[in-house]
Amino acid sequence: MIAAGAGGAAPGAGMAQGGTVLELRDLHVRIVSRQGTVRAVDGVSFDVAAGEALGLVGESGSGKSMTLRAVLGVLPPEARVTSGEILLDGVNLVTRPQSELNRIRGRKMSMIFQEPMSALNPVMRVGWQIAEGPQVQLGFSRARAAERALELMRRVGIPDPERRFRAYPHEFSGGMRQRVMIRESGVSLVFVTHDLPVVAQICQRVAVMYGAQLVESGAVADVLLNPWHPYTRGLVRSAPDFDYVRESLVPIPGAPPSLINPPPGCRFHPRCEFAEEDCRVSETPLRLLPGGRATACLHYERCMDAAAADRAARA
C-alpha cells in the first residue's frame, strides 16, 4: 500500500484539496531475464485524488506490486520504466534523479506494509522509529522529533502515547502497528490486495489488473457488485465471504498468461467463457464508459448479463 502525502507534512500539504495527487499515464515496466523480457507493467494508467483510497486488485503476478514499486522508485536492478509518466503533485517522478526520490519517499509518499511487524525494527522503541522520519526528512532535533512522534501517535488514535512511545513493536497489536506505519491521517492511498471484502470496506474506487494491464475500474460498489469484465466477475465469484455465504467457491479456470510471450488479443481470452474471434485478434484498450466505469472487454454486455444472473441466483 502506498500513502501519498504522508510523513512530516501537515495533512493535505503539497496537494490541492479534491485535486489529483497521483497520476500514472501509460506506464510500462520491463524486466530483463534469462528467459526473455518480461512485460511486468504494460500501459497502466490511473489517478488518485486527495484523500481517496484506490484498491488495486488482481491475482499474484498481475503487476500490482511492480506498479507501486515503480511509483516509489524501488524497482529491482533488472527492471526499468521504459515509457510513461508517474506524476506526484504534478511532478514526473520518472525523470527525477534517485537523490530527489530519496527525499520524496517518507516525506510525500510511503509504503505501508501488509504485515507492519516486518517493517519495524524489533529492538528499537516504536516512538524513536516514528521520530526518525522527522529527524531525517525534515531536519528536526531529537527533542522536536520526539514531540512530533507523540503528536502523530495521538492523531492516529494510539492510546496512552507517552507510554507507548517507549514500547517495542512486539508490545503493540497488529492494528496499532499499522497505525504506527501510517503516521498521518487524511492521506491518499493505493491499496494493493487480492482481498475483495477489505477493498469493499476501505476503498472508494477499485482498479483490476490482469496480465500486467488494467482491465476494469470504477466505484467499488459498481465494479464488485456489477462487474463489466469477465476476469473481475471471476474474482468476485472466487472470493470467500464476499457478500453472501457460499456453499462452494467458483475458481477461474486456466492459468495467468506469460508476460514474456503473452497471448495475442485480450490476455484473458484463453480463460474467458465469452471470448469470440475478435477477442483473439488485437489488444483491447481500457474504454471509459458512462458513470465513470472503464472496461477492456469487447463484450462487456454479456458479462453484465451474467453478473445479473449471479445476483438473481443469490437472492
User: Rounded to the nearest 10 degrees, how much is the dihedral formed by the CA atoms of 220, 45, 258, 261?
Assistant: 150
| pLDDT value, residue 208 | 97
In angstroms, what CA-CA distances link 295 with 23, 47, 141, 226?
19, 16, 50, 12
| pLDDT value, residue 102 | 84
Query: CA 155 to CA 177: how far, in whole Å?
Result: 14
Q: What is the pTM of this model?
A: 0.78
56 in Cβ contact with 207 (< 8 Å): yes
Q: What is the DSSP string of 271-302?
A: G-TT--GGGGTS----EEEGGGEEE--TTHHH
Please state whether beta strands 53-57 and 205-210 pair in parallel, antiparallel, or not at all (unpaired).
parallel
Classify the C-alpha dihedral 221-223-227-232 as positive or negative.
negative
Give the pLDDT mean for 254-264.
94
Q: Which residue has the higher pLDDT, 246 or 239?
A: 239
Residue range 66-93, pLDDT digits in tens: 999 999 999 999 999 999 999 999 999 9
Average of per-residue pLDDT values in the chain: 85
Please state whether beta strands 53-57 and 188-193 pair in parallel, antiparallel, or not at all (unpaired).
parallel
| pLDDT value, residue 3 | 60
| pLDDT value, residue 143 | 94
Residue range 266-311, pLDDT digits in tens: 999 999 999 999 999 988 889 999 888 999 999 999 999 999 998 8
Domains of the chain: 2-189 (3.40.50.300), 223-314 (no CATH)
Q: Does the pLDDT at position 245 exceed 60?
A: no
Give the pLDDT mean for 197-201.
83
Give the pLDDT mean for 208-229.
96
Q: What are phi and psi of 214, to 5 degrees?
A: -80, 135
Closest CA to 255 of 265, 270, 240: 270
| pLDDT value, residue 193 | 84
